[in-house]
Amino acid sequence: MGIASALVRAAFLVNSVYARAGREHGLTPQQGQLLCVLLAQPYGMSELSTMLGLARSSLSGLVDRTANNGLVRREPDPRDHRAVRVALTRRGARLAERFYADACRRIEELPAALAGNERDLLAGLLARVVLDNKVPVVFTGPDPARS
């Protein structure tokens, strides 16, 4: 299998696992991504648009639907009175933590057949690809120091 095919198929695999975890938590994949991004901190709409790769109109609809479910809220941006930031509600933060932990666990299980050194090599190589391509931080994975 070539690199393009392997990466595309791996992306499909991860997306499938992520979507399944989201359904079990009552989230669409996009809502899951939004909640995971907001775990770190509230973000402005333009930052979220860039991080999630969504047009502003699509992001507005996503935020509206997620806010209607009581998971996020819009709040004034303290640096720019014309702008708003999106933040997790208390309920959204609890759900985001559960979803994030569950999705991480499921994704970590994908390379279960690999030996420890193979897993480390895979993680290092994928990290390099991600960093070299300046992929926004949208999902950090579990902190090995906390495990």
* Radius of gyration in angstroms for the set of CA atoms belonging to the chain, rounded to a whole number: 17
What is the C-alpha separation between 86 and 77, in angstroms, rounded? 9
Range of the domain at 20: 3-132
The whole-model pTM stands at 0.82
Number of structural domains in the chain: 1
Q: How buried is residue 76: exposed, middle or buried, by Cβ count under 10 Å (0-12/13-18/19+)? A: exposed
Q: Is 140 inside a domain boundary?
A: no
Which residue has tokens 């992306």? Answer: 11
Q: Is 108 inside a domain boundary?
A: yes
Q: Is 96 inside a domain boundary?
A: yes
Q: Is 137 inside a domain boundary?
A: no
Q: Is 145 inside a domain boundary?
A: no
Q: Is 146 inside a domain boundary?
A: no
Question: The domain that contains 99 carries what CATH number?
Answer: 1.10.10.10
In tens digits, the chain (147 residues) has pLDDT values of 899 999 999 999 999 998 999 999 999 999 999 999 999 899 999 899 988 888 988 999 999 999 999 999 999 988 888 889 999 999 999 999 999 999 999 999 999 999 999 999 999 999 999 899 887 776 665 544 433
Q: Is 39 inside a domain boundary?
A: yes
Q: Is 121 inside a domain boundary?
A: yes
Task: Return the SS3 of 88.
Answer: strand
